């Protein structure tokens, strides 16, 4: 089963921390939509005969699109791909775009899951991040979606920002729990180069993040959510039973996916490719019926390292039998040997042929994965 990701590269305003590809000018919105429809047709054989189990409209801010735009994009997908009847179809929406009429339109278009960019329920945090919505809109977007019957909801929350006290972090989680949100994505604020946040911190205009505060809030968040019946099925993702994101899970399971729109990535099992992250050039190349992307053929070593990185972030962990089967028995043995120091440090445990990070180990997931990577060219 495959997935399709569509990148909508427009936002109302730039959040200070964001390094995704987007434009705050909507002047090219119609040209972009036409180009996207064309790209869909040109890439209709990318997934081969695989049926599509998930569609994800992300960005940017897909909720800026009109109902006819969303309907047109989805109908075009149905024309070109074999979409399963029970497909999970997610729309990322910002709370300020959510209203009862918008929700009815999204449902009519075929959206059956919403991912809401709430980030915090407190004005101090929202203003610090330069979000376009306020705390009332954050709550109303959830209540309105639930009233409209679009209750398969995920919300994003960010922790580790200087304005977010431990008390408020706890209240953010308590609010999500009390609103019976079935899925939460909790991200640590990161300071990415070239973002307004990075520049302002460098200029001394904004306070930098404190890693110890982030680590504490990460650990507390896990604890509170687990006590409230959520499983941490991936480091940043928490779900009530049966409510995992099927789309994101397919990335972690290395399934095929097609990415459409500027900056979108695609993976077909052997190669990874990414579209140009530039709206005018994306539109121009498609006006000539040309695709504009870069491509990389993955060596077995790259695929194994990707598997190490993604699987260690999941609750199920790194399956040594999978490495044995799909890669090389020697690699399996080497991995087990290299994991010994993390097991001794209680950052990892081995259970039924799986290497699984402990709660403490999750704090250092990226470093541990890097420590297990195969680096020697000869390994390729
Ligand atoms: S709305 Fe989302 S994509 Fe747009 S600037 Fe903010 S974080 Fe980035």
Output the CA 194–ligand 1 centroid distance in Å.
14
**Residue 134 three-state SS:** coil
Confidence of residue 376 (pLDDT cuts 50, 70, 90): low
* Cα(352)–Cα(264) distance, integer angstroms: 36
Residue whose pair of structure tokens reads 């075929």 in the numeric block: 110
Q: Is the pLDDT of residue 343 over 70?
A: yes
Contact 248 CB / ligand 1 (< 6 Å): no
pLDDT mean over 236-254: 93
pTM of the model: 0.96
Quote the tokens at residue 146: 């639930």
Given the structure tokens 């790259």, which residue do they identify? 302
Using DSSP's 3-state secondary structure scheme, residue 326 falls into helix
List of residues 6+ apart from 174 with CB closer than 8 A = 224
Q: Could you tell which of 22, 133, 277 is best to mutate to test the pocket of ligand 1, judged by most ligand atoms within 8 Å of the CB? A: 22
What pLDDT shows up at residue 252? 83
b/e per residue 181-213 (b: at least 16 CB within 10 A): bbbbbbbbbebeeebebbeebeeeebeebeeeb
Mean pLDDT of the chain: 96
Question: 20 C-alpha vs ligand 1 centroid, how far in Å?
Answer: 7
Question: What is the average pLDDT across 301-317?
Answer: 95
CB atoms near residue 332 (< 10 Å): 19
**pLDDT digit string (tens) for 19-49?**
999 999 999 999 999 999 999 999 999 999 9
Residue 234, both tokens: 């991936």
Cα 47 from Cα 54, distance rounded (Å): 13
The percent helix, strand, coil of the chain (3-state, each to 5) is 45, 20, 35
pLDDT reading at 364 higher than 60: yes
- Residue 251 is predicted with a pLDDT of 86
Distance CA(343)–CA(361), nearest Å, equals 9
- Provide the pLDDT for residue 380: 44
**pLDDT in the model for residue 119:** 98
Quick check: 377 pLDDT over 60? no
- Rounded to an integer, the average pLDDT of 195-209 is 95
Residue nearest to atom 3 of ligand 1 (CA): 60
Which helix (H) or strand (E) segment holds residue 274: the answer is: strand 271-275
For residue 332, pLDDT beyond 80: yes
Starting from the edge strand earliest in sequence, which strands make up the sheet with 348-351, in order? 318-319, 354-357, 348-351
């Amino acid at each position: 089963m495959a997935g399709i990701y569509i990148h909508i590269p427009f936002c109302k305003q730039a959040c200070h921390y964001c390094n995704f590809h987007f434009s705050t000018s909507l002047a090219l919105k119609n040209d972009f939509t036409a180009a996207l429809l064309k790209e869909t047709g040109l890439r209709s054989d990318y997934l081969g005969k695989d049926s599509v189990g998930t569609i994800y409209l992300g960005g940017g801010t897909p909720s800026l699109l009109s109902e006819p735009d969303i309907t047109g994009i989805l109908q075009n997908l149905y024309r070109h791909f074999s979409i399963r009847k029970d497909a999970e179809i997610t729309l990322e929406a910002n709370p300020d775009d959510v209203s009862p009429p918008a929700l009815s339109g999204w449902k009519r278009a075929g959206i059956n899951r919403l991912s809401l960019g709430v980030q915090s329920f407190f004005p101090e945090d929202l203003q610090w991040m330069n979000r376009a919505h306020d705390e009332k809109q954050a709550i109303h977007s959830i209540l309105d979606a639930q009233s409209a019957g679009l209750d398969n909801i995920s919300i994003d929350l960010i922790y580790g920002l200087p304005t977010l006290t431990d008390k408020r972090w706890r209240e953010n989680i308590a609010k999500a729990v009390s609103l019976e949100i079935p899925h939460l994505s909790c991200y640590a604020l990161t300071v990415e180069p070239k973002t307004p946040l990075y520049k302002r911190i460098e200029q001394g205009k904004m306070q930098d993040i404190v890693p110890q505060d982030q680590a504490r809030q990460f650990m507390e968040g896990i604890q509170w959510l687990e006590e409230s019946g959520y499983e941490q099925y991936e480091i940043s993702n928490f779900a009530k039973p049966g409510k995992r994101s099927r789309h994101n899970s397919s990335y972690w399971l290395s399934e095929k996916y097609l990415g459409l729109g500027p900056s979108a990535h695609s993976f077909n099992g052997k190669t990874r490719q990414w579209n140009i992250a530039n709206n005018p050039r994306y539109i121009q190349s498609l006006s000539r019926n040309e695709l504009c992307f870069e491509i990389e053929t993955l060596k077995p070593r790259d695929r194994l390292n990707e598997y190490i990185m993604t699987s260690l972030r999941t609750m199920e962990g790194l399956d040594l039998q999978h490495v044995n089967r799909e890669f090389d028995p020697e690699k399996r043995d080497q991995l087990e040997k290299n994991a010994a120091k993390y097991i001794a440090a209680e950052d990892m445990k081995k259970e039924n042929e799986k290497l699984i990070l402990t709660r403490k180990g999750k704090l250092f997931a990226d470093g541990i994965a890097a420590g297990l990577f195969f680096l020697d060219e000869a390994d390729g």
